């Protein structure tokens, strides 16, 4: 079971009340990208949901409030994981510096080895590539 924070609840409530619970027109959508037909379809669907909410359909209200709450939870989870991955990458690079090796040599190693090349472009350096570099250098 997910444990929601107060800030997640507040952000989800604001999105629900300010961005969702009003009627949409095609101008709410990027018609140049999705087309006029799709914009009409999305606006009609959204307005049907708003009609149900205004009519007092508790299941629809609960569904959309939970939808926005889960979006906020997932966004926070993603941000936490991204921060942890960045920190891990920094720690891995610190191992190279602590070993007295040049960072340029490590970057060339990662870039030129097919197995680790994705790390060079994503800037997510793993302990495995650092260990491999230190074992051959």
Task: Print the domain residue range for 121.
Answer: 99-137
Whether residue 131 is contained in a domain is answered as yes
Q: Angle at which helices 58-98 and 103-112 pack, to 10 degrees?
A: 120
Q: Are residues 71 and 108 in the same domain?
A: no
If one counts every other C-beta atom within 10 angstroms of the C-beta of residue 125, the result is 24
Q: Are residues 73 and 136 in the same domain?
A: no
3-state secondary structure of 114: coil
Q: Are residues 40 and 74 in the same domain?
A: yes
Q: Are residues 32 and 57 in the same domain?
A: yes
At 20-44, the pLDDT tens digits run 888 999 998 999 999 999 999 999 9
Whether residue 137 is contained in a domain is answered as yes
Question: What are the distances in angstroms from CA 119 to CA 28, 40, 85, 95?
Answer: 39, 43, 12, 16
Whether residue 94 is contained in a domain is answered as no
At 53-103, the pLDDT tens digits run 999 999 999 999 999 999 999 999 999 998 998 898 889 889 888 888 888
pTM (two decimals): 0.71
Whether residue 25 is contained in a domain is answered as yes
d(C-alpha 106, C-alpha 38), whole Å: 49
Q: Are residues 82 and 64 in the same domain?
A: yes
Number of domains in the chain: 2
Of 89, 111, 129, which residue constitutes the final position of a domain? 89
Percent of residues, the chain, with pLDDT higher than 70: 99
Q: What is the dihedral of CA 5, 9, 14, 16, to 10 degrees?
A: 140
């Amino acid at each position: 079971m997910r444990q929601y924070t107060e800030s997640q609840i507040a952000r989800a409530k604001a999105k629900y009340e300010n961005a969702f619970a009003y009627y949409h027109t095609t101008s709410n959508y990027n018609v140049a990208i999705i087309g006029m037909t799709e914009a009409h379809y999305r606006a009609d669907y959204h307005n049907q949901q708003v009609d149900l909410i205004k009519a007092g359909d508790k299941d629809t209200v609960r569904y959309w409030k939970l939808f926005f709450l889960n979006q906020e939870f997932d966004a926070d989870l993603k941000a936490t994981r991204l921060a942890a991955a960045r920190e891990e990458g920094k720690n891995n690079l610190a191992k190279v510096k602590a070993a007295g090796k040049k960072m340029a040599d490590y970057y060339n190693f990662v870039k030129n080895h097919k197995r680790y090349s994705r790390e060079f472009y994503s800037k997510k350096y793993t302990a495995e590539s650092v260990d491999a570099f230190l074992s051959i250098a």
